[in-house]
Amino acid sequence: MSSNRVGSARRIERASMPSTAGRNSVERDALSHLVAKRNALVSRLENGSHQIEQIRQAGEDVQQWETFWVRLLRQYEQVCGELAAYEAARELRKAG
């Protein structure tokens, strides 16, 4: 379960950072913050996935760990949505 999600997170992380051409410094700073936050969440998701597997292999209950991991995943999805909104706005500005 979790390894598929981490794989998705890695694929999204590898996507290039949205272009900052033509943006003011406030937008660039906000975008940089979101990219940094996304990257930190990817790292936490990967680490959490490995920890969950180790705990599971030790025969311990992982439900609480998985619940926390899913909350991190939701944060990651939110940040990716915000990054996608920046990119969509950029495309609209280019088209207009």
Band (pLDDT 50/70/90 cuts) for residue 55 is: very high
Strand ranges (E), 1-60: none
CA dihedral sign of residues 22, 43, 67, 49: positive
* Separation CA 81–CA 21 (nearest Å): 20
Say whether pLDDT at 21 is over 80: no
Is the confidence at residue 33, as pLDDT, over 90? yes
Residue 92: left if φ>0, alpha if ψ -120 to 50, beta else—which one?
A: alpha
> Of 43, 45, 36, 40, which Cα lies nearest the Cα of 83?
36
Q: What is the pLDDT of residue 78?
A: 98
Say what the pTM is: 0.73
pLDDT of residue 25: 87
Question: In the chain, what are the domain boundaries?
Answer: 2-12+23-95
Amino acid 19 reads: S
